[in-house]
Structure 1
Amino acid sequence: MSIALPASFSYSLPSSRVFIIGLAGGADSGKEAFCRVLIEQLQKSQVVDSSKALLLHLHDFYKELTDEDRVRVATGLYNFDHPDAFDWDLLAEVMDEINEGRLTKVPKFDFATKRRTMEVRPKDAEYPSVVLFEGIFVLYSQRIRERLNMKLFVDVDDDARLVNRVSRKVAESNPDSVDHILTEYVRFVKPAFDDFIQPSKKWADIIIPRGIENVPAIELITAHTADLLGRATSTRPSRMNSSSSSTVLQEMTGEASSVSSSACASPRPHSKASIAHSEGSRSSMNSSPVPRRDVLGGSTDSLFKPVPE
């Protein structure tokens, strides 16, 4: 059975046959988990095998920190949730290498040491046919958006993301105090979402409410990607609530039976046109309760510096 999509869904594959999917969303909205489930479903539907799916993280593209930056990190004043914290030139270079079929190194950021290294890909490694790229600012820069074949946005409620953040932070080996987590959230995370991440949602081809809980969205995206890669109808993924349901999905959302019942009541993912009427009711999300801070620039209430295109 063919899935009909709006006329606006007219993607084209690059000559290298590498299909790059960009996934944006607020911090702790489950972007990485969503990508891993999507990769698993693409493998199960025989769109790609395990050696030809690559997952990249925006947080590995943080800039090299200067001595002054490290002082700010130590005092909790360095803003990792600002576009200026990322190396956009390196990101564009890596994406071009992917499209041209000559990717040899990928960056890796160590959060313990706050240092970035370059990892060399094995020479005998299969070249990816599908690349998933996730991060809070994936849809922020125009020159990065132009390198994506499909643009997704995971839309998860603010309160749910804050709960996820607190749960994750307190479970770490060296946990932060709840007071520190909330201070960091109010100072950096919430303003970043209001000023940069939420506005970038308008560039998404598909907006996915509830993230990984939205099983129909995972099905639709998997099937549509299979279509774009020229796979036959027989390789389409089976229903996610069947006996071959995603093991990762079950781990993230509970027993398969509960997933099945929630999927039946879940709305389909929205296109840009379908959410236009709801933007007015959500306008309160676009203003931050705290002053803007550009800690990287050392000033408050400053206008953000757009990334040079």
Structure 2
Amino acid sequence: METTVARATDVDQREKAHYSPPWANTSIIGIAGSSGSGKTSLALAIVAELNLPWVVILSMDSFYRPLTPEQSQQAFRNERSETSRKGTCLQKQLECAMPDDDGSKKADIPLYSFEKHARLERTTTIYSPHVLILEGIFALHDPRILELMDLKTLTAISASLEGQVVRDVRDRGRDLEGCIKQWFSFVKPNFHKYVEPQRQVADIIVPRGVENKVAISMVSDRICKTLAQKSRLHQSELKRLGKAVENAPLSKNVMVLEETPQIKGINALLLDTDLPAEDFVFYFDRLVCMLIDK
């Protein structure tokens, strides 16, 4: 009986002391909009404005379903909607957005070629980003993804034939006649059916795309405030964990540095969220050198 109680106590202690690093709490930003409305350009502009490490753009275009030979022929004749080619692949998207508790999650993302109407053989890998920007026509469509998002953004709400033609001819190897055919057959009807309703759940609607510097600055500022709030919560959790295990015996393999005024000062600086990055690296290196010497 005593052994059982002791083991239960040990498990309870480990659960209380469980540590989840800050990068395991990914901030997810959704950017939706009509085809050719500048979603990718807006995402890139936000990344440039943020100027932060570990920011990843994940395009929902990457998750188009592979086509059968017959479906591929329809696509080359512009007789198949991009909407019908969209695979949910929700599980993969969630894997990218929600790393493991230790932040070790990585995901291999497929690459889709609009010229070939097929996935490429190679993939790209992302590792536990701090900020994940999910952009696509249906980025704000699935309630299961919406629940994970910190910010929901919608580009210009009107469907633009000009924007799609310019993009598809320039970047996707399409001809003008095929672009117009696909626009009136699929893109415009699907805009009213799928894209327009997403304005009801959007936090911010960004007209004029990358030209709207004020809106981009607002989105960037909101993301930075969200990250700052998560940082404060993380520090509070570190303090809680410290209290939870302060009386627990250390492993015999643990070596403790003498708590000198210098070490106390370095610890105080490292916990200051306003400390410039270059100073953080400098003082962290100092502490690491002391640990290695020990």
Aligned partner of 1:228 in structure 2 is 226
Please give the per-residue CA displacement for 1:20-45, whole angstroms capped at 9, x wherever unaligned: 101001111111111101001111xx
Aligned to 1:292: none
Deviation at 1:209, TM superposition (A): 2.2
Kept in 2: contact 1:106–1:118 (CA 8 A)? no
Asked if 1:19 is matched to 2:56, the reply is no
Higher alpha-carbon deviation: 201-210 or 70-79: 70-79
SS at match of 2:181: helix
Distance in 2 between residues matched to 1:78 and 1:131, nearest whole Å:
30
Alignment of 1:221-260 (within 5 A): 221-230=219-228
Task: Tell me how far 1:113 sits from its aligned partner.
Answer: 2.4
Equivalent residues in 2 for 1:177-216, closer than 5 Å: 177=176, 179-216=177-214
Unmatched runs of 5 consecutive residues or more in structure 2: 1-21, 232-272, 277-294
Look up the SS of the partner of 2:28 in the other structure: strand
Task: Show CA shifts across 1:78-98 (max 9, x none).
Answer: 111x2x42221x233332343
Is 1:67 the counterpart of 2:69 in the alignment? Answer: yes
1:108 CA drift (Å) = 1.0
- Give the partner amino acid of 1:113: K
Structure 1 residues 210, 97: CA separation in 2 closer, same or farther (over 3 Å shift)?
closer
User: What amino acid is the match of 1:87?
Assistant: G
Which structure 1 residue ranges, 4+ long, deviate > 6 Å from structure 2? 231-235
Aligned ranges for residues 1-309 of structure 1 at < 5 Å? 16-43=24-51, 48-49=52-53, 52-80=54-82, 82=83, 84-88=84-88, 90-100=89-99, 101=103, 102-116=105-119, 117=121, 119-121=123-125, 127-158=128-159, 161-172=160-171, 174-177=173-176, 179-230=177-228
Checking the alignment, whether the CA contact within 8 Å between 2:58 and 2:132 is kept in structure 1 is yes
| Identical residues among aligned pairs (%) | 27
User: 1:185-211: CA deviations, max 9, x gaps?
Assistant: 111110010111101221112122222
- Given residue 180 of structure 1, which amino acid in structure 2 is its aligned partner? G
Alpha-carbon separation, structure 1, partners of 2:137 and 2:198: 10
Partner letter of residue 166 of structure 1? V
**Secondary structure at the counterpart of residue 229 of structure 1:** helix
| 1:93-130: CA deviation from partner (whole Å, max 9, x where unpaired) | 33234312412311111223222246252xxx764101
Query: CA 1:209–1:64 in structure 2 vs 1: closer, same or farther (change >3 Å)?
Result: same
- Matched residue of 1:153: which SS? strand
Structure 1 residue 19: deviation in Å?
0.6
Supply the RMSD in Å over aligned alpha carbons.
2.5
Residue 157 (structure 1) shift: 3.6
Give the letter for the 1:207 counterpart.
I
Moved more, 187-196 or 166-175: 166-175
User: Against the structure 1 CA distance between its residues 188 and 40, is the aligned structure 2 distance closer, same or farther, given a 3 Å change threshold?
Assistant: same
Q: TM-score, normalised by structure 2?
A: 0.63
- Aligned residue for 2:106, secondary structure, equals coil
The answer as to whether partners of 1:156 and 1:210 remain within 8 angstroms in 2 is no
| TM-score (normalizing by structure 1) | 0.61
Compared with structure 1, are the counterparts of its residues 168 and 93 closer, same or farther at alpha carbon in structure 2 (3 Å cutoff)? closer
Instruction: Tell which structure's C-alpha radius of gyration is larger.
Output: 2
Give the match for residue 299 of structure 1. Answer: none
1:131 corresponds to which letter in structure 2? Answer: L
SS at match of 2:94: helix
